[in-house]
């Protein structure tokens, strides 16, 4: 097959959008723009000011391949290889959950405590369980220069991605990784334990949106029979890793507030806060030991 010919940016964007519309993609205009900009090295401003700008054949071929993947159901940020989270660009890998805006609620929930602890103690030690891309830990480190964080994950591939993200963001000296099944190989004590654990009941995995079910790692989704197993583990085991004044913050499924609160209260924790995400759904619970 002959190599694709160079093409003007404006028509290229229109064709990309039409292709995704035909494929039934949910937000075809945005996804087409993200793909074209990424693989052509152009910006939205350039598309408006200079729609006749020529895009070379190599970029056209890369865009064509990416559009094919998106039309086939692959999430756009998986295709791009990164996603923005809390103002940070985080690389993705097959072993990592794609960080989503709802999880920024967890960062906001503990950030004032992290700042206050760092101001008082000179540091704030954070343990990020199931760190994935490192999103939660790295967002907190970016906002609090005196803080340090340990990212824990059972997946070596996820930890490699998190470490790479930390290095690219200039946060590598304050971020360490531990490959561990929850607390199994964790040591030390922390002021904050944060987690966005798997919380989907096993029976519900098959009913998830295709882009989640088919492309997010199952390890990061499946929370056991009732979706609550990780919370039970954290509630039972976390206390020996906590400083005297400390917080645990967990993301939850939008129907799990009462059950997760009961699990932590039964283990001796007091409820400090419950926060909703931008959609108004219960999303984050914060607890204090004792």
Does the annotation flag 157 for ligand binding?
no
Residue 153 labeled ligand binder: yes
Is 165 known as a binding-site position? no
How far apart are alpha carbons 35 and 144 in whole angstroms? 33
Name the percent of the chain in helix, strand, coil, to the closest 5: 45, 20, 30
132 is in an annotated binding site: yes
The reply to whether 182 sits in an annotated binding site is: yes
Query: What pairing do the DSSP bridges indicate for beta strands 82-85 and 175-179?
Result: unpaired
Burial state string for 261-287 with b = 16 or more CB within 10 A and e = fewer than 16: bebbeebebeeeeeeebeeeebbbbbb
Q: Is residue 68 marked as binding?
A: no
Give the span between the Cα atoms of 158 and 142, in whole angstroms. 20
| 131 known ligand binder | yes
Q: Is 197 annotated as a binding residue?
A: yes
The answer to whether 130 is annotated as binding is yes
Q: Do residues 116 and 143 make contact, with C-beta atoms less than 8 angstroms apart?
A: no
Contact at 8 Å (CB) between 285 and 110?
A: no
Which residue positions form the known binding site for substrate? 196-199
Annotated binding site for S-adenosyl-L-methionine: 130-134, 153, 182, 196
Residue list for the binding site: 130-134, 153, 182, 196-199
């Amino acid at each position: 097959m002959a190599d694709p010919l160079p093409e003007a940016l404006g028509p290229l964007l229109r064709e990309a959008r039409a292709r995704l519309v035909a494929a039934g993609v949910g937000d075809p205009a945005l996804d087409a723009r993200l793909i074209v900009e990424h693989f052509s090295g152009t910006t939205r401003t350039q598309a408006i000011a200079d729609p006749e700008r020529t895009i070379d054949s190599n970029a056209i071929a890369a865009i064509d391949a990416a559009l094919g993947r998106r039309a086939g159901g692959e999430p756009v940020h998986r295709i791009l290889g990164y996603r923005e989270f809390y103002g940070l660009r985080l690389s993705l890998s097959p072993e990592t959950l794609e960080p989503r805006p709802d999880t920024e609620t967890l960062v906001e929930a503990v950030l004032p405590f992290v700042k206050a602890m760092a101001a008082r103690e000179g540091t704030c030690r954070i343990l990020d369980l199931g760190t994935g891309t490192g999103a939660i830990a790295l967002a907190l480190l970016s906002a609090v220069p005196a803080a340090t964080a340990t990212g824990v994950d059972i997946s070596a591939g996820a930890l490699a991605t998190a470490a790479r993200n930390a290095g690219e963001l200039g946060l590598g000296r304050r971020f360490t990784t531990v490959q561990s099944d929850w607390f199994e190989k964790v040591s030390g004590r922390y002021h904050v334990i944060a987690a966005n654990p798997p919380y989907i009941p096993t029976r519900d995995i098959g009913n998830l949106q295709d882009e989640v079910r088919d492309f997010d790692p199952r390890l990061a989704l499946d929370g056991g029979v009732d979706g609550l197993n990780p919370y039970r583990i954290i509630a039972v085991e976390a206390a020996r890793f906590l400083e005297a004044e400390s917080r645990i913050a967990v993301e939850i499924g939008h129907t799990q507030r009462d059950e997760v609160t009961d699990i932590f209260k039964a283990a001796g924790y007091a409820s400090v806060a419950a926060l909703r995400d931008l959609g108004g759904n219960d999303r984050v619970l914060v607890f204090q030991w004792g």
